[in-house]
Structure 1
Amino acid sequence: MNAHLKIRPDHLQRGAYLYIRQSSMRQVVENAESTRRQYGLRGRAVALGWRDEQIIVIDNDQGESGASATWREGFQRLVSDVGMGHAGIVMGLEVSRLARNNADWQRLLEICALADTLILDEDGVYDPASFNDRLLLGLKGTMSEAELHVIKARLRGGILNKARRGEFRCPLPTGLVYDHSGNAALDPDMQVRETIMHFFETFSRVGSASQTVKAFRAEGLLFPSRLHNSETVFRPLTASTAVRVLNNPRYAGAYAYGRRQFRRTIDGKKTVRARDNDDWLACIPDAHPGYVSWEQHQENLKILKANGHGYDTARASIPREGPALLQGRAVCGQCGWHFRVRYAARRGRQEAWYICDRAHTYRGEPRCQSIAGPPIDEAIGMLIAEQMTPAAVELALEVRQEILARHEEADRLRCRAIERAQTEADLAQRRFMLVDPNNRLVADTLEGEWNEKLRILANAREERERARQHDQFILDEAVHKRLVAMTVDFNKLWADPDTPNRERKRLLAYIIEDVTLVKLPAEGFTRAHVRFKGGKIQTLTTSSPKSSAEQVTTQPGIVELVDRLLDGHIYSEIADLLNQQGYRPGEAARRGRHDARFTSKRVAYLAHEYKLRPRYDRLRERGMLTKREAAVRLNIHEHTVARWAKHGLIASHAYNGHYHLYEVPDSNLPQKHCSRWDRLADRVAVRLENTSQARPSADVERGVV
């Protein structure tokens, strides 16, 4: 009776909205009675006065949780229609069907109160605008949210209790299955087992997930993967798969639960956050058989963590393919950080440089050091060759034997792939032989599947043969003998171009802990402090390679020689002397031009660049005079000075091409020069006297006398 009093004609003029929801699709399938009860509310609406065509059913939220309205499109449509005044009443079997979140429920009540919309559940009809009904509906919403929490806590508690005992069954990764007793065990498929074992052995050898992927690709191996229908397929190994396998403790035989934490964001999306090992809800080592030990799993995690920290202070990275011998082991002697390796292609080859620039990267400070790698690597290689003992030669043989075993393991996995392909081809053949020949539709399909399996089998055999040809040196006895002979002399093994750089670094890792480098630019060399595994320390000194500016610089000995030659020679004469003695300019030496020669311009540039005293100043210091000064001193014309110098009457000294300085005779000259000078002076005096007597008036006017 109270329900009819709350329903007014304006309510009946609007629609009656029936909201239907089940929390999961399993409930929709198995709890069919609840679904029928919810659809039965249509009769209640008709009984209250709504026509059948006015009843709007919203059931597109089937299988959706009521914990939030973010991902429920049906509930959002219901709230929208109520807000626009289209709904006279909202019907739901229980408050929990409409919402299990108190915030969503209170929002719906507020909108219904503003739009004058009634709410109906199995217990009765409520008016959200009425205080008593609003209070009752609010309590029901709170109880619905608390009920969800209690249900989740009860279920969660049971799961955690079983997980702490290691009895809660979680999906197992590829390579592990549940046996008939429900216990985790290794996959009975031998190809799957051996491939995963080979994966962990390869990672222990190369020390990197990406290098493991490259090794699988180089060997032509595929990695198993389990589909949703529990079918196992083999695919190319990827870096993400490798990291996921290495981080999964189930491969180490440990039962783990709660490694990740799932949360819902405000927009309804699910976020995943990885927990630390100490925050796992359950971790039971040695709970079932595994492919590696728990200790090896922890070591693998440390390697992955070290590989991911490229700027770690104490990082010693794994051996790579580059030629830098001290990659990951060179320490800066100024700041203590590990050097970073940079490569540059110069003069047709790849050169390594050890660079410490973290202070520059982080704080904008100047770079600590930049050291060329070839001189350091050559000195370290010579030191290693000197330190090698017969035991070290046996170590080199063991490394080679490891390579042999590695290729044998890869060949065995290829044989497993051939066996699997042969089994599938035989199965396809039997299926084809059992079909009725008259049923061509089925026969053609089975024949196509048989042909496809035969093609896969042929490809597997060809791949194995191709890989065996690539690794044929394993079976070559002559090559093996050469290998044994080479290992007797470790220097040959170290310098062998066929020895990969990664193997050299692996050999180095057995002997050297780290190398501290200190560059001394003023002295032109680098000091390397080598710390061996046993604690012994040895210091090496290597010459630093010259920079481009230093390479074009002329040798100091040539500059000193030019300085001495300037006392008695001009630039062109000095250039000829240098060329005769086999000297070459610095720029030509850097470029490898052995035919380059000194020229007068090059010698002049050296004198100017190194501020050598000019030849002009040297001659002036010795008392030489210019042409004008000599003419004034001798009381003759400048041209006469040049002619006298040409005929040897006075000495001239060139200082810059055609320019000369003159040596004026004095009392210290030899007697033959003085008598010749006297005779020349007497002859000039007689001629002047005769000329003066012949034309006295003209000479007086011109001032000759």
Structure 2
Amino acid sequence: MSTDRYQKVTPDHLRRDAFLYVRQSSLRQVFENTESTKRQYALRDRAVSLGWPIERIHVIDSDLGLSGSSAQHRDGFQHLVSEVAIGHAGIVLGLEVSRLARNNADWHRLIELAALTQTLILDEDGVYDPAYFNDRLLLGLKGTMSEAELHVLKARLQGGMRNKARRGELELPLPIGLVYHPDGSVVLDPDQQIQDSLRLLFETYRQTQSASMVVRRFRREGWLFPRRIARGIGKGEVHWGELNTSRALQILHNPRYAGAFVYGRTRVGRKADMTATQLKVDQADWQVLIRDAHVGYINWAEFERNQLSLKQSATAFGNLSRGTMPREGVGLLQGRVICGLCGKRMRVRYQEVSGKIEPYYVCLDDSAHRAGKPCQSIRGRGIDDTISDLLLETVAPAAIEVALAVEDEIAERIEQANAMRTKQVERARYDAELARRRYMHVDPANRMVADALEADWNHRLRQLDALQQEHDRQRQSDQGLLGDEARARIRALAEDFAVVWNDERIEPVERKRMLGLLVEDVTLVKAQRISIQVRFRGGRTTSLVTDRPRPIAAIRKTLPDVVRTVDELLETCTDRQVALRLNELGYTNWRGQSFTFKKVTTIRIAYHLPSRFERLRKRGMLTGDELARQLGVSTTTIHIWGRAGFLKRHLYGNKHRCLYEPLNNVVLVPGKGGRKPTSPTFIVAQPTEQGAI
């Protein structure tokens, strides 16, 4: 073996450099398995004995603490491969194959490059030339065994963990609110504020069935939520901060809060860049599920109900998303409308109409998935009103019970909020007292430390004062909600469910939640009229038919009675007088506004009604200029005589715009001196047989 070993090392190999690759799988091995590291560095002596000078032996140890399961993120191994590929390496040294790679793809790539560049590989057993078939076969077997060894090690460790998990004895990291007792059992966190925060989260979700509503309530009330540091600096410490939706969803999806021991909720997968990622596993595929294994904040039945409601809350196309949780917006049937043409769920689109936000129920399934046209789009205001009337007829007998339940719920929420704020004040008072004790125990001569502790004490006192003031203010506000006047108002509303339903103080999301307790879904078909199929909880159905919403052009169109009245009034009135007369008769436009001169003019032009001027001219009325030419006087004189009442005139515009009745067979008798009199004298001329005057 030794002779063969030295025959493989040729002068050509010695002209190139030697590369020693050193690796440990984890930082723990680097600090604890020091002998293995020393053995790897000792391979430099083997290279020296083969003829390489010490200054040409390069040690690559930048991969210490990295796993050899993949070449990804191993810069040292990538550098080694590049040196082999360009022919700089005469020999590659490694304690064993597993130090170089535990992945056959990486290992065989290195062997291929070494064979092409005539590079030797050395381990504790000897020197190998990948260009020789026997050596290459042996190196391949060693690589396969190294990869299999990694699998065996993992299987052995995971088998022991699974066996312990089947008994429910495997200690897994616990979420916030649960801790391990010294005897190994799982108990609730002894911090009462942490318990109350989690109970309040589950209670709020039980009432709202929405994780977003839970977060909004915590933000609105100013409540903080705990978070335990899992790793790094401050590991195990509890920090208080704002609750976000992602955190709330993690808690609602975690079965440990239901008292269940679970193993195998996630598995490790690989992304396109071969980086590890956590993949969720369906509940049916969990490896271990032991219900009631320890105490929890909710029971298993409630946990399953929460999972179902969370699944329904996911916004998506298709039948599975029917009955989604109530959200913002005035559309009453949001999430419960089914297209009667294709059977898919209709979505809600909001549009501003006349300064108001109006809902439209639109089926976009074909448009979204097949680039087609929407099946149907229906304005939702009339549909919502029809369903509201149906609900008022259905649930009116239970109105009193509903209102009393609302009163009890308000009282319970106020008590919960007061308890949470009291816990926050107590914690702030404890932090301030702790800061005071730290300051009192410091050496007064050490001013640098004393000043910092004094500043921290003052900061804690300011936080305590702000929390106390906010607590007092909120408590006074809550007392108004529970006062006698508020209770009397709630009981008064209970006598008429219609008043409760139509009360402006009721948020749209609350109406949707009440609707969801009674209605499963509503199917719409838009034709000449809109067909409504209502399916109640329990299977009972009701069919309704309503008129299609009028187009906005038809809504804005002036009523025929108004047009007819305007036409009649124009015979004797001007546009301005017509507007006044219409207002006296109680007419309004489509917006409920009174008529003005401009509105009447617009109606007259739109419906091609003859104007007052045209009507007077048709009846033979003359303008001032025409009558002046007939009488041989100036136009000004005609207007003066008209205002004095000597001529009969008819107004068609403002006070100065008028037409005059014609003076047939009448002549003007002039005064003395040829001057026309101020008070004209008219005589009737008798025509001759030839028609001359």
Q: Same fold (TM over 0.5)?
A: yes
SS at match of 1:546: coil
Query: Retained in 2: the 8 A contact 1:316–1:328?
Result: yes
CA distance in structure 2 between the aligned counterparts of 1:491 and 1:423, rounded to whole angstroms: 50
Q: Which amino acid aligns with 1:263?
A: G
Partners of 2:602 and 2:135 in 1: CA distance: 109
Which of 286, 303, 307 is equivalent to 2:292? 286
The match for 2:680 is: none
- How much has 1:18 moved relative to structure 2? 1.3
Give the alignment's TM-score, normalised by structure 1: 0.78
How many angstroms apart in 2 are the aligned matches of 1:537 and 1:264? 50
Aligned to 2:552: 548
Aligned to 2:593: 592
- Residue 398 of structure 1 and its aligned partner are, at CA, apart by 0.6
Match of 1:32 in 2: 34
Question: Bigger CA drift: 347-356 or 236-245?
Answer: 347-356
Match of 1:183 in 2: 185
Q: 1:295-310 residue pairs with structure 2 within 5 A?
A: 295-310=301-316
Q: 8 Å contact 2:576–2:597 — kept in the other structure?
A: no
Shift, 1:601, TM fit: 8.8
2:263 to 237, 257, 264: 257
Q: Where in structure 2 are the equivalents of 1:294-693 lying within 5 Å?
A: 294-313=300-319, 315-363=322-370, 366-389=373-396, 391-519=398-526, 521=528, 526=530, 528-533=532-537, 537-538=541-542, 542=546, 544-556=548-560, 582=582, 589-590=590-591, 592-596=593-597, 606=607, 683=689
Give the CA deviation at 1:595: 2.5
TM-score for the superposition, normalised by structure 2? 0.79
What is the CA distance between 1:63 and its match in structure 2?
A: 1.1
Query: Structure 1's 16 and 365: CA in aligned 2 closer, same or farther, altered over 3 A?
Result: closer
Amino acid at match of 2:553: A
* Displacement after TM superposition at 1:507 (Å): 3.1
Separation in structure 2 between the aligned mates of residue 221 and residue 113 of structure 1, nearest angstrom: 67
Which shows bigger deviation, 554-563 or 163-172? Answer: 554-563
Q: 1:308-328 CA distances to partner (integer Å, 9 max, x unpaired)?
A: 133333612223343333333
* 1:608-635 deviation digits (Å, cap 9, x = unpaired): 99xxxxx9xxx9xxxxxxxxxxxxxxxx
Q: CA deviation at 1:477?
A: 2.6
Post-superposition Cα deviations, 1:89-137, rounded to whole Å, max 9, x if no partner, equal 2211112111222222222222223323222211222222333333322
Distance in 2, matches of 1:389 and 1:586, equals 37
Does the residue aligned with 2:174 lie in a helix, a strand or coil?
coil
Report if the CA contact (8 A) 2:558-2:590 is conserved: no
CA distance in structure 2 between the aligned counterparts of 1:168 and 1:102, rounded to whole angstroms? 33
Q: Deviations over 1:57-78 (max 9, x none)?
A: 1111111111222221111111
- TM-aligned CA deviation for residue 480 of structure 1: 2.2
Tell me if structure 1 keeps the 8 A contact 2:403–2:493: no
Q: Which amino acid aligns with 2:211?
A: A
Read off the aligned partner of 2:194 and give its amino acid letter.
V
Does the alignment pair 1:237 with 2:243?
yes
Specify the code of the residue in structure 2 equivalent to 1:36: K
- Residue 77 of structure 1 aligns with which residue? 79
Report what 2:203 is aligned to. 201
Task: Give the Cα separation in 1 of the matches to 2:376 and 2:272.
Answer: 50
Q: Counterparts of 1:168 and 1:47 in 2: how far apart (Å)?
A: 51
Shift, 1:183, TM fit = 2.2
Contact conserved, 1:166 with 1:284, CA < 8 A, in 2? yes
Letter in 1 for 2:353: R
Query: SS at the partner of 2:378?
Result: strand
User: Which position in structure 1 is the counterpart of 2:145?
Assistant: 143
Deviations 1:569-626 (A, max 9, x none): 99899999987984999995458352358879955753699xxxxx9xxx9xxxxxxx
Contact 1:259 1:280 in 2 (8 A): yes
Distance in 2 of aligned mates of 1:18 and 1:597: 97
Residue identity matched to 1:286: D
User: SS of the residue aligned with 1:497?
Assistant: coil
Paired residue secondary structure (1:456):
helix
Q: Is the Cα–Cα contact under 8 Å of residues 562 and 587 in structure 2 kept in the other structure?
A: no
Residues of 1 paired with 2:329 and 2:110: CA distance? 66
Distance 1:581 1:163, change over 3 A: same
Contact 2:363 2:375 in 1 (8 A): yes
Q: Secondary structure at the match of 1:136?
A: helix
Distance 2:398 2:315 in 1: 35
Q: 1:13 to 1:572 in 2, by over 3 A?
A: farther
1:19 and 1:98 in contact (8 A); partners too: yes
SS at match of 2:268: strand
How many equivalent residue pairs? 615
Looking at structure 2, the residues matched to 179 and 266 of structure 1 have their Cα atoms a distance apart, in angstroms, of 42
Letter in 1 for 2:73: W
| Identity rate, percent | 48
Question: CA 1:593/1:45 → structure 2, altered by over 3 Å: closer, same or farther?
Answer: same
Q: Cα deviations across residues 640-670 of structure 1 (Å, max 9, x unaligned)?
A: xxxxxxxxxxxxxxxxxx9xxxxxxxxxxxx
Which residue does the alignment assign to 1:624? none
Bigger Rg, structure 1 or 2 = 1
Stretch deviating more after TM superposition (22-31 or 44-53): 44-53
Q: Check the 8 A contact 1:530/1:539 in 2, yes or no.
A: yes
Deviations along 1:368-397, whole A, 9 cap, x unmatched? 444333344344444444444454212222
Structure 1 residues 580 and 73, CA, compared in 2 at 3 Å: closer, same or farther?
Answer: closer
The reply to whether residue 10 of structure 1 matches residue 16 of structure 2 is no
Q: Which ranges in structure 2 are unaligned for 5 or more consecutive residues? A: 619-658, 660-685
| 3-state SS in 2 of match to 1:403 | helix
Look up the equivalent residue of 2:162 and give its one-letter code: L
Taking the aligned partners of 1:23 and 1:478, their CA distance within structure 2 comes to 72
Report the Cα distance in structure 2 between the residues aligned to 1:585 and 1:493, rounded to whole angstroms.
Answer: 33
Give yes or no for contact 2:587–2:594 (8 Å, CA) kept in 1: no
